Amino acid sequence: MDNFVNERDYELLEGDKYTFFVLKRLFGGKNTLLLSDHERLIICFSEDPFPVWIWTPDDATEEELERAYVLSKENGLMDGEHRFNIKYELAEYFIQRAERDGLAFAVETNMFAYDNPAPIAPGATCEGSLHQCTEEDIDELVEFYDLFHHAIDADYESEEVYRKKATEGVAHGALYFWKDPEGRSVASCHWFPNNGMAAIGLVYTRPEARRKHYAENLVYRVTMIAKEAGFLPMLYTDADYVASNACYEKIGYILRGKLCTIACKK
């Protein structure tokens, strides 16, 4: 296994470019662990609190699944503290294999990957307007980052990190609020480009402002901004949030792939 990726790894992910969009993006950053044989296995861990990403082909053999497990164990990832974003076949194998090592892993999140080649305007309009965030919004953006991560109950970071992300996002013009008629920020969304695709994220609506179509209209508008900039919009969702996924599908998002997050039960 090498500690670097090359063009062959990017080619491998072309067949899973939706489900492993984040992994492809991680290749270009600093990683705590990066292993690849450039053919059948890629393991990548950026840093805490984020999950370990493992790519395996759809036709992976039991020997290859075992290899992924052993390498994860040898590199300190099977300590009960790390989570894994992986395909369902590998998840099933990891759960059964970890049990032999005294670890009780289970599926934490079922994930859907969508793209949107042809956005559809929302059928339901809402009051208020789109607002591109500026430096004046950074304090409120920090709050939204914190609210978002509490809502998904994952990937918590410090206020300092949220502030850095907010500052960088504002500088790139990538962060948006939906403002209600009174000028209050009721929903958030961002988009970031990578290799021809645009990741839509930070989708959060304040509890008291839900069921008023704010998020639907906000995500549609941000999706259009990304598409008009020449990128293919995509996003990840929790597969178990039926209402949220239905909202995305109404504005043109198409299900392209599935994977899951597994974690050790405490």
Asked if 107 and 143 sit in the same domain, the reply is no
Asked if 108 and 192 sit in the same domain, the reply is no
Buried b (16+ CB within 10 A) or exposed e, 105-134: beebbbbbbbbbeebeebeeebebebbebe
Q: Per this entry, what is the length of the chain?
A: 266
Q: Does the residue 186 lie in any domain?
A: yes
Q: Does the residue 120 lie in any domain?
A: no
Strands (E), the chain: 33-36, 42-45, 52-55, 84-86, 105-115, 129-132, 175-179, 185-194, 197-205, 232-238, 254-264
Asked if 165 and 54 sit in the same domain, the reply is no
Could you tell me the CA-to-CA distances from 141 to 74, 82, 174 in Å, in that order?
Answer: 39, 28, 12
Q: Looking at 112, 144, 173, which one is the last position of a domain?
A: 112
Asked if 100 and 134 sit in the same domain, the reply is no
Asked if 22 and 104 sit in the same domain, the reply is yes
Asked if 139 and 103 sit in the same domain, the reply is no
Q: Does the residue 59 lie in any domain?
A: yes
Asked if 158 and 227 sit in the same domain, the reply is yes
Give me the CATH number covering residue 166.
3.40.630.30
CB 171 within 8 A of CB 64: no
Number of domains in the chain: 2
Q: Does the residue 261 lie in any domain?
A: no
Asked if 168 and 234 sit in the same domain, the reply is yes
Domain range for 145 is: 129-250
Q: Does the residue 54 lie in any domain?
A: yes
Please list the pLDDT of the chain residue by residue as tens digits (266 residues).
999 999 999 999 999 999 999 999 999 899 999 999 999 999 999 999 999 999 999 999 999 999 999 999 999 999 999 999 999 999 999 999 999 999 999 999 999 999 999 999 999 889 999 999 999 999 999 999 999 999 988 888 999 999 999 999 999 999 999 999 999 999 999 999 988 999 999 999 999 999 999 999 999 999 999 999 999 999 999 998 888 899 999 999 999 999 999 999 86
Q: Does the residue 201 lie in any domain?
A: yes
Asked if 141 and 216 sit in the same domain, the reply is yes
Q: Does the residue 260 lie in any domain?
A: no
Asked if 144 and 220 sit in the same domain, the reply is yes
State how far the Cα of 171 lies from the Cα of 182, in Å rounded to an integer.
Answer: 26
